[in-house]
């Protein structure tokens, strides 16, 4: 839940993964992987490498991108043709010599990699053309892979799609607008636009193509097989679509998220403190997050397993400054992406703030009582959106935590003295009554004496 509005101190927030430049020394960046859930095809055998900068997860396989730009695979080889029973137990593979990768995405049975030069390499099953990269495709800055189709965002803002087209997942709308993030499910596609709106096209028999009324604007999106998950500008999470395993039933008490993931029957959120919340099926103990898991920056979800990346060198975004009207807040972004490629957008009370697109923002009186969040985008290849945790701006006149504490101390002191006050008051009352009774007795005796005379 958001921080109490009485708080006057800006909170620092870890954020989702930004793929780091492979030009940096491999020993300087990266983190380790933790996997849990089903392990029928070796999905949980993710190794002990500590230089992983991104993880892509398919139904029963994983692709790890390392700081040196290489990719390693683990899990089952569902890339083989469906009728190839002889290689049913084979492991997932990576094309020999693949280097200079800045992003890797996993589809239903194919994988796609983006190189630093903007070119794309795909491998795996190609029965629907999902691994057949269009000839001459270049200047790509972001990828998304669905069940049997692939999406690519080019630096001019256009989206290129290929693969299975029966449901319309590759029919990119002509009037799409300025895209900042792509996502793909099994037969449907999503685009997050710069104005916070979400466009969906393709399959919709489970409601995955219909935006929920509670969504409004979004700052991050992802897609599972037949459902979608988005983060709103206040850090809250909205899920919709297929819900047979409650993968679209977002927990009511879910804390603000900085990153999200979706698979076939599960969804998950990463929080600013590096913890993870998972919902959906628990058939293979997917909901049993390892007790010692910490520092998570991103994760991926397969059919029956999850893989979390804990990367202490991953890009981080924090808001610094006083959480009060009139204060100047600063978006502190730590990333290897070129500074010239970074842009910002500030949000308040669930909506983008017009004109607030620099790395600083002065809190307006209209922001009082509302959460403020900032998102950073980069035009560099392979780097997706990254968001901060929401920062609550207190209402004017609301006591600070210190003032409240002082008031509480005073109340406690008064409460501690109350029993003694009652006792003293009782003694005084008894004394007064005693004096009154004594006077009455004395008067009666005086009256009796007079009668005798």
pLDDT tens digit string along 140-179? Answer: 999 999 999 999 999 999 999 999 999 999 999 999 999 9
What integer pLDDT is reported at residue 440 of this predicted model? 53
Q: Which of 196, 201, 197 is nearest to 169 (CA)?
A: 201
Q: Are 142 and 181 in contact (CB under 8 A)?
A: yes
Identify the residue with better confidence: 243 or 412: 243
DSSP 346-398: EEETTEEPTT--SSEEEPPGGGTTSEEEEEEEE-STT---EEPPPEEPPPTTP
What integer pLDDT is reported at residue 316 of this predicted model? 85
pLDDT at residue 104 above 60?
Answer: yes
Helix (H, G, I), strand (E, B) or coil at 99: coil
Q: Are 247 and 268 in contact (CB under 8 A)?
A: no
Q: What are phi and psi of 428, to 5 degrees?
A: -65, -45
- What does pLDDT average to over the chain? 85
Instruction: Using the structure block, give the residue that is written with the tokens 């998220």.
Output: 257
Please calculate the CA angle 79-126-164 and round it to the nearest 5 degrees: 120
Identify the residue with better confidence: 1 or 63: 63
Rounded average pLDDT over 289-309? 97
Helix (H, G, I), strand (E, B) or coil at 58: coil
- pLDDT tens-digit map of 45-67: 999 999 999 999 999 999 999 99
Which band of pLDDT confidence, cut at 50, 70 and 90, is reported for residue 83?
Answer: low
pLDDT at residue 96 above 90?
Answer: yes
User: What is the distance between the alpha carbons of residues 248 and 287, in angstroms, rounded to a whole number?
Assistant: 14
What integer pLDDT is reported at residue 336 of this predicted model? 77
pLDDT at residue 37 above 90?
Answer: yes
* pTM exceeds cut of 0.85: no
pLDDT at residue 256 above 90?
Answer: yes
Q: Are 241 and 208 in contact (CB under 8 A)?
A: yes
């Amino acid at each position: 839940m958001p921080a109490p509005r009485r708080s006057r101190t800006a909170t620092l927030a870890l954020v989702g993964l930004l793929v780091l430049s492979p030009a940096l020394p491999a020993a300087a960046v990266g983190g380790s992987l933790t996997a849990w859930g089903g392990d029928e095809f070796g999905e949980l055998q993710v190794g002990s490498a500590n230089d992983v900068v991104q993880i892509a997860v398919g139904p029963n396989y994983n692709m790890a991108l390392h700081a040196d730009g290489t990719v390693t695979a683990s899990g089952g080889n569902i890339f083989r043709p469906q009728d190839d029973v002889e290689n049913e137990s084979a492991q997932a593979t990576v094309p020999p010599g693949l280097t200079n990768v800045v992003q890797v995405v996993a589809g239903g049975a194919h994988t796609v990699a983006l190189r630093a030069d903007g070119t794309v390499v795909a491998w795996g099953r190609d029965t629907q053309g999902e691994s057949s990269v269009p000839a001459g495709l270049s200047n790509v800055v972001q990828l998304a892979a669905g069940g049997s189709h692939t999406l690519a965002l080019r630096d001019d803002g256009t989206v290129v799609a290929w693969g299975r087209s029966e449901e319309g997942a590759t029919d990119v709308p002509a009037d799409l607008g300025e895209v900042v993030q792509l996502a793909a499910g099994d037969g449907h596609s999503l685009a997050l636009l710069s104005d916070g709106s979400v466009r969906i096209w393709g399959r919709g028999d489970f409601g995955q193509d219909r935006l929920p009324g509670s969504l409004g604007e979004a700052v991050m999106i992802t897609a599972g097989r037949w459902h979608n998950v988005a983060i709103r500008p206040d850090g809250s999470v909205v899920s919709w679509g297929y819900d047979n395993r409650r993968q679209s039933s977002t927990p009511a008490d879910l804390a603000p998220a900085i990153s999200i993931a979706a698979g076939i029957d599960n969804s998950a959120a990463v929080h600013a403190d590096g913890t993870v919340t998972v919902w959906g099926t628990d058939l293979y103990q997917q909901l049993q997050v390892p007790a010692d898991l910490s520092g998570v920056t991103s994760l991926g979800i397969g059919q029956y397993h999850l893989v979390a990346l804990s990367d202490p060198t991953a890009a981080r975004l924090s808001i610094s400054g006083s959480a009060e009207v009139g204060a100047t807040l600063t978006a502190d972004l730590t990333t290897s992406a070129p500074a010239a490629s970074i842009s910002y957008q500030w949000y308040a009370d669930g909506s983008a703030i017009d004109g607030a697109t620099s790395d600083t923002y002065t809190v307006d009186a209209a922001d009082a009582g509302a959460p403020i969040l900032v998102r950073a985008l980069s035009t560099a290849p392979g780097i997706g959106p990254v968001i901060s945790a929401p920062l609550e701006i207190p209402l004017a006149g609301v006591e600070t935590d210190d003032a409240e504490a002082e008031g509480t101390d005073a109340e406690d002191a008064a409460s501690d003295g109350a029993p003694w006050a009652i006792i003293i008051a009782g003694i005084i009352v008894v004394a007064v009554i005693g004096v009154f009774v004594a006077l009455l007795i004395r008067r009666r005796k005086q009256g009796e004496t007079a009668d005798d005379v």
